[in-house]
Amino acid sequence: MPAALSDAALQVSAEQAAFFHREGYLTLNALTTPDELAWLREVYDRLFREQVGRKEGAHLDLAGTDEDGQQAALPQIMNPARFVPELEHTQYRKNALAVARQLFGPSARYRGEHMIYKPPYHGAATPWHQDQAYHHPGFVYRQVNVWMPLQEATVENGCMQYVPRSHAGFGILPHHHIGHDPRIHGLEVDAPERCFERAVACPVPAGGAALHHSYLLHYAGPNRSPVPRRAYILTFALEPEPRAVPLEMPWQQESKTARQQREKAFREQAESKA
């Protein structure tokens, strides 16, 4: 079970909030307690060991072709609270929501969550991208991703890296599926290397967090360490606003992943039983 909740939710200073809006990211040292962190690690390791959510399309390989029975390069579980409802009642979630509301105001709401696992030595890089590349092209999002590692996150094991201020303007750069393979779920931005020269690496302690605006260019390196790199991400946002003219995002139509097929088969089976 998650540790008992503390009444006090985390406060960020006006300077920290201003830094987030100007630079597009922010790091925090503690969003949870050591007891809760230990419980989260147990839950997390079980979810990945058992590939929970595989048939529902919730477990996938972000950086590979994701056929059943092959070793995943970058395993991910979408919406883990669907499988472990206790995750809805953590100190982490309470603190992350409080921070999101300090950044975006009281109407910021929980929008989703996922877990990304980088196995020791062979966990693949998460390529440079903007989260908006996965979102609906018809809306403007004001969204923060709270990325909490369950062990210390370092450059060696794949901490978050950001291009400061790249969220300004709320535009979207062209993206493609990793390796230009539409079977692969993960997206990569089409941009020359020089765009990333200003990148800042954000190591954070276990239970701390790196926060980013959903239009910010971000990346996480491969895991070159002997330790698993566990990240648990919560997303909070204001109500998306319709765009006058939808963005062009052709990579979304190209997508042909095994995850989509599993999800479709699961849904059809559930409907046929209903």
Minimum distance, C-beta of residue 8 to Ni ion, in the bound complex (Å): 30
Strand partners, 116: 76, 231
Kindly tell me which of 61 and 131 has the beta carbon lying closer to Ni ion: 131
Segment 119 to 138, residues that bind Ni ion, using CB under 5 A: 131
Q: How far, rounded to the nearest angstrom, does the alpha carbon of residue 62 sit from its chain's CA centroid? A: 11
Kindly tell me which of 94 and 213 has the beta carbon lying closer to Ni ion: 213
Kindly tell me which of 33 and 115 has the beta carbon lying closer to Ni ion: 115
Separation CA 218–CA 171 (nearest Å): 15
Kindly tell me which of 56 and 131 has the beta carbon lying closer to Ni ion: 131
Minimum distance, C-beta of residue 213 to Ni ion, in the bound complex (Å): 11
**Phi first, then psi: what are they for 98, rounded to 5°?**
-60, -45
Minimum distance, C-beta of residue 133 to Ni ion, in the bound complex (Å): 9
CA trace torsion 105, 107, 112, 114 (10° rounding): 20
Site of tokens 């849904």: 267
Minimum distance, C-beta of residue 80 to Ni ion, in the bound complex (Å): 17
Q: Which of 59, 63, 51 is nearest to 123 (CA)?
A: 63
| Residue whose beta carbon is closest to Ni ion | 131
Separation CA 274–CA 166 (nearest Å): 47
Kindly tell me which of 113 and 131 has the beta carbon lying closer to Ni ion: 131
> Between 78 and 117, how does the x/- string for binding to Ni ion read (CB under 5 A)?
----------------------------------------
Minimum distance, C-beta of residue 86 to Ni ion, in the bound complex (Å): 25
Kindly tell me which of 94 and 133 has the beta carbon lying closer to Ni ion: 133
Q: 76 and 112 in contact (C-beta within 8 Å)?
A: no
Minimum distance, C-beta of residue 218 to Ni ion, in the bound complex (Å): 6
Minimum distance, C-beta of residue 127 to Ni ion, in the bound complex (Å): 10
Kindly tell me which of 212 and 262 has the beta carbon lying closer to Ni ion: 212
Q: How many residues bind Ni ion (CB under 5 A)?
A: 1
Q: 148 and 41 in contact (C-beta within 8 Å)?
A: no
Segment 34 to 53, residues that bind Ni ion, using CB under 5 A: none
Tokens of 25: 């990211």
Separation CA 73–CA 59 (nearest Å): 13
Separation CA 81–CA 112 (nearest Å): 9
- Residues of this chain that interact with Ni ion (CB under 5 A) are 131
